[in-house]
Amino acid sequence: MKQSYLNIVGLAFRAGKCTLGEEAIVRDIKKQKISLLIIANDASNNTKKKLTDKCTYYKIPYVITDDRDTLSNAIGKSGRVAIGITDKGFAQKISTMLN
């Protein structure tokens, strides 16, 4: 089941429906562009706190899941600790797969 949500994340990335990079993610959270934020469970405490606080304030759903290598593999880029999903359809599908 977990692997299939990573396939959807990869599809969203290839479709151009993802935001990568901490600053870009924070900017898009403030603009209400992100529908779901996926955070790696091995992200630093500061990064987790910063992103989860922003998500809570702006009422953006987020999930803390696999490690950074697994998330990075899903999108084909290295060292990614957070992925913002900007498409509502992809976000809903990933949410239902993770819950």
Query: Domain of 25: which CATH number?
Result: 3.30.1330.30
Range of the domain at 66: 2-98
In this structure, what token pair is assigned to residue 99? Answer: 């819950």
pLDDT at 1 over 90: no
Look at the pTM and tell me if it is higher than 0.85. Answer: yes
The mean per-residue pLDDT over the stretch 66-82 comes to 93
pLDDT of residue 4: 85
Task: Please give the Cα distance from 17 to 85 (Å, whole number).
Answer: 6
Give percent of the chain with pLDDT exceeding 70: 97
Q: How many domains does the chain have?
A: 1
Answer for the pair 17, 85: CB distance below 8 angstroms, yes or no: yes
The mean per-residue pLDDT over the stretch 55-65 comes to 96
65 by DSSP, 3-state: which? strand
Strand arrangement, sheet containing 18-20: 18-20, 82-85, 36-40, 62-65
Average pLDDT score over the chain: 94
